[in-house]
Structure 1
């Protein structure tokens, strides 16, 4: 298995990899972990705080109810109070005296002392007692009340909730109700004490924790006795507590408180706080955490970018100059006097570049002379090739023969001689290496007319040239040798009718030439031999015309020209040439 390697990774990418793995990722992970740990710690602390708040409310509620229960117990064992309520009074005045001396004195000891006690009321069915003040008669209306029925159903003191219209609208009150049964009295009459607790005291108990969420005081029968939610209608009717009262994501805090109600379970306080409320403080600090993380990322990022640019930019500049050296431009790199490793490398590169430039300057003259000799040699070969087909005396002889043919009215012979004269006249133009496609095709057409005169109906030709290609410049006699090879080597040995097709197209900034014949073709061995001759620049061989075209294409167009020759025995030969449009001037 091949080991992972960073050798093929660019230096800039390596530095960025170090930045992401060693700076950015640790900073992001550290801040995320810090934020999550802080959130968990704050959440746990908040939950402890809410639990303590609910427990405190439970204790304060218990203190208030226990205070009222204690007062009711003391009143139950107060001999003078019970004796005053059991006594039969002969006159109203006698009751009034006993009321002021025993009852009021006893009850006034508690109301002013305990601020949570709103009122203490005693109910009795003693007919000699005058109803009013702290003592009221048990009337049918009283007996029909819910608190009275709850008291009769229990042998212990009960805690009841009643509602009435007050100064602030409809108010709910909490009362401790019990029967007074002093053991030493006859207990002929029913005596009931009802101790009312201030509604504000209850609201104050739950007011603090109610600011953080929804508070519910639930009795043993799952009835809501108090809530910070007025929308559930608990004030004017009995409402059973339901989990639907709280949100799905709410956190619940509960504290139970046993109350001495007969056949009833303990009461409990429920605080429902949304998780968003619990994490409110953390949410407030989220912006600070984000700003701190941004600063921790931005400052190292700027420093690392500065360092990366100091390294990468100079390396890229050095590499760019190295590529210029490859193409023959020996330029030195600026700022090569820096003292770090890249500066030393740049300094050595500049020294090497200067030495290479000097060395090339020393051998440049000799190289130019060598190239000049080679160019003259190629030109001499080209002129030698041209001299094979354009001797000057032939032109003069053909002109004389054409004149005599016209004098004897031999027009066909005169036309052919005229075409031959045109061919030799163009070949005599030594100083003109470039011609237009139109001029080249005029030469080719003259040659084809001569060949058709020679072969008769055995030879036919077809020419297709794009109109836009006629004025393009090409090397002189680039197509005529190909047409000559097609007629002599392809069509002449053929027993059937021969066809030469010439096509010239101009597209995508290039000229495309094709010369095709349906002649005898060539065997693969012959094609291999010709390709070998084209590869050998020193040996001209027998195929002078093809090698002449191939060498001139290489000389004029370098690597921009394409030359392709294919042949099939019995089917013919196809030559394709592609050259750029701008190769010279006609």
Structure 2
């Protein structure tokens, strides 16, 4: 079926389809695969670069915070510093002398690039508020950072975020302070942190999230969707986003803090998306331009083939007009030359031989029809039917029912041979005739003869020359079974094999020797008058007249084992099927 569909297409369409399947589609598929692979590679590379940038920002942020941690630990571990803050001074002058002689030197030089300011808070009433020291009063205790500190009772510094400010709070309780509360608050340089976030190289939004999941700092604070203290988990991001998570772990003062990075995948692949239109335009060019070239080149082929086809159709109507010659050396030009030569040859042959050949064929056809009618006349003895019918009626009157039954079968055979005015019958009608004949033979041989007739239901409707199987069955029963000492079996099988009707006949009779079989086959093949085996010769001759060399006939026989005949007839559609 596929083969015929290809043959239904025009040559120009075949060339175009061949280009589409062999060139255009592979190019498009290759471009699409390349685009997808490139997109995936760029996405992975961008993800790796973003991950490295976020790691670098994480390390830079820790370095900045470690500056404050270093300051807090240096003051926390200084016993003189802590003792001075917790000492009760007798007078302001005594405190001033202590401040100028020791505290002032401790505070100087402690600021660094990452620290904007630091302040010591104490509720020691004998200490004056000045410079880096402030009183820890109720106003301070009501601040947000102080309240957050009360929730973290730990010996190490606590990182606290308030009002876009990151601070490190350290309790100065390394020694006994006599009930005096002392705190060190270090404020980080937020401008430096902003610069670090801005110059991190991360192509997206970065959020510093505290252990409670609240955003404490970001490079995205300029938008209305982000505010300090907002829960990061409740933020809404576009569907196609790439997220990164870098958590601080193993560092007590940063435990639970994390950097969250969010990248828009469309922005990441923005440059790649621009090449998509290029791929589409390239595919269009790859399709349109070659299509025009193929159409132009196929025209020289298509037009000339159509011209040859038109002249071939003229030959069909006996118009032997030649194609005007052209200067072409390709295959179509050679085909045109040979077509003209063939056309002239056919025209000459028809002029010279046509009439004589028609007369000869007509004479041969009439001779074959006359021979066919002569063969039929040998098997159609009309006068015997009336005689047999009289015998059957007489047998019924005398009560000889079995004899009447056999005579009825004989009459049935002769009636069909007389009533068949056509040259062919259905397989079913032929098998009914054979069954009647074998019933007669069974009456003759009794239990010595057993026969079986098998036929495909679909095979019964096909038409075959009449009485071409019966003579072979008759030969098997009389010449094969009659001389058999034991039980004789005849098996007739009719079935369809593709476009052929297969007829198989077997018997277990006396069979034939190889010499006798060769003699019989030679007798059937000879074109001579009928002799022995007139029935087989008659049937075989009519098969040759009807089918010529389109049928096959084979016979195999062995002495004392039986004979097998195989006949295959072609099925010619409407000519063979019952209408």
TM-score (norm 1): 0.53
Distance change in 2, residues 1:293/1:103 (3 Å): farther
Pairwise CA distance, 1:214: 3.4
Question: For the Cα contact (< 8 Å) 2:207–2:261, is it kept in 1?
Answer: yes
- SS in structure 1 at match of 2:180: coil
**CA-to-partner distance for each residue in 1:283-325, whole Å, 9 max, x for gaps?**
1222333344344444544443343233223322333444456
Which of 192, 195, 198 is the equivalent residue of 2:183? 192
Which of 177, 181, 201 is the equivalent residue of 2:169? 177
Q: Which residue of 2 aligns with 1:12?
A: 12
Distance change in 2, residues 1:91/1:221 (3 Å): same
Distance change in 2, residues 1:125/1:259 (3 Å): farther
**CA-to-partner distance for each residue in 1:39-90, whole Å, 9 max, x for gaps?**
2222222222222222222222222222211221112113443343234444
Q: Which residue of 1 aligns with 2:135?
A: 137
Pairwise CA distance, 1:99: 3.2
Aligned length: 347
Superposed, 1:251-330 pairs within 5 Å as 251-258=242-249, 266-323=256-313, 328=319, 330=321
Q: C-alpha separation between the residues in 2 aligned to 1:99 and 1:301?
A: 94
Q: C-alpha separation between the residues in 1 aligned to 2:141 and 2:33?
A: 66
1:206 aligned onto 2:197: yes
Q: C-alpha separation between the residues in 2 aligned to 1:244 and 1:195?
A: 30
**CA-to-partner distance for each residue in 1:220-268, whole Å, 9 max, x for gaps?**
1122212325424633xx3323344323332221111148679x96112
**CA-to-partner distance for each residue in 1:521-547, whole Å, 9 max, x for gaps?**
xxxxxxxxxxxxxxxxxxxxxxxxxxx
1:110 aligned onto 2:110: yes
Q: Which residue of 2 aligns with 1:375?
A: none
1:332 aligned onto 2:313: no
Pairwise CA distance, 1:332: 3.3
Q: C-alpha separation between the residues in 1 aligned to 2:299 and 2:102?
A: 100
Question: For the Cα contact (< 8 Å) 1:160–1:174, is it kept in 2?
Answer: yes
- SS in structure 2 at match of 1:196: strand
Q: C-alpha separation between the residues in 2 aligned to 1:261 and 1:139?
A: 29
Question: For the Cα contact (< 8 Å) 1:178–1:193, is it kept in 2?
Answer: yes
**CA-to-partner distance for each residue in 1:123-166, whole Å, 9 max, x for gaps?**
11222322122111111100111211222332231111122xxx
Q: C-alpha separation between the residues in 2 aligned to 1:109 and 1:78?
A: 16
Pairwise CA distance, 1:218: 1.8
Q: Which residue of 2 aligns with 1:53?
A: 53
**CA-to-partner distance for each residue in 1:161-195, whole Å, 9 max, x for gaps?**
122xxxxxxxx110000111344x65663221111
**CA-to-partner distance for each residue in 1:490-530, whole Å, 9 max, x for gaps?**
xxxxxxxxxxxxxxxxxxxxxxxxxxxxxxxxxxxxxxxxx
- For structure 2, the residue ranges without an aligned partner over 5 or more in a row are 353-579
- SS in structure 2 at match of 1:133: coil
Question: For the Cα contact (< 8 Å) 1:160–1:176, is it kept in 2?
Answer: yes
Q: Which residue of 2 aligns with 1:81?
A: 81
Question: For the Cα contact (< 8 Å) 1:219–1:265, is it kept in 2?
Answer: no
- SS in structure 2 at match of 1:174: strand
Distance change in 2, residues 1:17/1:284 (3 Å): closer
Distance change in 2, residues 1:216/1:333 (3 Å): farther
Question: For the Cα contact (< 8 Å) 1:332–1:353, is it kept in 2?
Answer: no
Question: For the Cα contact (< 8 Å) 1:332–1:354, is it kept in 2?
Answer: no
Pairwise CA distance, 1:210: 8.9
Question: For the Cα contact (< 8 Å) 2:16–2:291, is it kept in 1?
Answer: no
Superposed, 1:331-480 pairs within 5 Å as 332-333=323-324, 336-350=326-340
Pairwise CA distance, 1:282: 1.6
Q: Which residue of 2 aligns with 1:573?
A: none
Which of 209, 215, 225 is the equivalent residue of 2:206? 215
Q: Which residue of 1 aligns with 2:144?
A: 146
**CA-to-partner distance for each residue in 1:424-476, whole Å, 9 max, x for gaps?**
xxxxxxxxxxxxxxxxxxxxxxxxxxxxxxxxxxxxxxxxxxxxxxxxxxxxx
Pairwise CA distance, 1:358: 9.7
Question: For the Cα contact (< 8 Å) 2:116–2:187, is it kept in 1?
Answer: yes
Q: C-alpha separation between the residues in 1 aligned to 2:96 and 2:344?
A: 132
Q: C-alpha separation between the residues in 1 aligned to 2:9 and 2:28?
A: 25
Question: For the Cα contact (< 8 Å) 1:151–1:157, is it kept in 2?
Answer: no
Distance change in 2, residues 1:4/1:351 (3 Å): closer
Q: C-alpha separation between the residues in 2 aligned to 1:96 and 1:317?
A: 121
Question: For the Cα contact (< 8 Å) 1:252–1:271, is it kept in 2?
Answer: yes
Question: For the Cα contact (< 8 Å) 1:216–1:269, is it kept in 2?
Answer: yes
- SS in structure 2 at match of 1:285: helix
Q: C-alpha separation between the residues in 2 aligned to 1:69 and 1:259?
A: 15
Q: CA RMSD in A?
A: 3.4
Which of 217, 224, 232 is the equivalent residue of 1:231? 224
Q: C-alpha separation between the residues in 2 aligned to 1:281 and 1:105?
A: 58
Question: For the Cα contact (< 8 Å) 1:89–1:128, is it kept in 2?
Answer: yes
Distance change in 2, residues 1:295/1:191 (3 Å): same
Question: For the Cα contact (< 8 Å) 1:177–1:193, is it kept in 2?
Answer: yes
Q: C-alpha separation between the residues in 1 aligned to 2:329 and 2:116?
A: 92
- SS in structure 1 at match of 2:224: helix
- For structure 1, the residue ranges without an aligned partner over 5 or more in a row are 164-171, 364-586
Q: C-alpha separation between the residues in 1 aligned to 2:70 and 2:285?
A: 64
Distance change in 2, residues 1:216/1:186 (3 Å): closer
Q: C-alpha separation between the residues in 2 aligned to 1:125 and 1:285?
A: 68
Q: Which residue of 1 aligns with 2:231?
A: 240
Q: C-alpha separation between the residues in 1 aligned to 2:12 and 2:340?
A: 23
